[in-house]
Amino acid sequence: MQVREAMSSEVLVVGPEHTLRQAARMMSARRVGSAVVIDPDSEGVGIMTERDVLNAIGAGLDPDVERTGAHLTWDVVYAGPDWTVEEAAAAMARGGFRHLVVLDGREVAGVISVRDLMRVWARQHAAAAV
């Protein structure tokens, strides 16, 4: 199975000037563990995860003051939509992260998470058991 078949194509996008609280509220409302951060003044795409929010708050930082741009990963490992889910899982395991931004060319096509991989593998296992 390819990443395009397993990824979430409805991606939460925030800007680098959103506060951590704003990002956390949007992530909570959408029931997602990450938000893609696009800064129109820079190249590339970053990702903000629930762990980034947790680390900032755990360090005593004010979520109403801190901006997403200061607490995200710009050095992102991107997946391609044609990757297999096994390739995505291997990249996550190597990097120690739970989300991959999926790029189709230079455009964000989606996000694939460990939860997406588990869903796919559970369905495949159930189908194989029949």
Q: Which domains does the chain have, with CATH numbers?
A: 3-127 (3.10.580.10)
Percent with pLDDT over 90 in the chain: 75
pLDDT band at residue 80 under the 50/70/90 scheme: very high
Whole-number average pLDDT of the chain: 92
Return the minimum-mean-pLDDT range out of 17-21, 64-68, 74-78, 115-119.
74-78
Q: Find tokens 């005593």 and name the residue.
A: 60
pLDDT of residue 44: 75
CA-to-CA separations, 87 to 14, 66, 91, 100, 108, in angstroms, rounded: 27, 34, 6, 11, 18
Angle between helix axes 114-129 and 85-95 (nearest 10 degrees) is 140
pLDDT of residue 39: 81
Contact yes or no for 1/128 (Cβ under 8 A) = no
pLDDT band at residue 121 under the 50/70/90 scheme: confident
pLDDT digits (tens, 9 = 90+) for 28-72: 999 999 999 988 777 678 899 999 999 999 999 999 999 999 998
Q: Which H helix or E strand runs over 37?
A: strand 34-38
First to last CA, the chain: 19
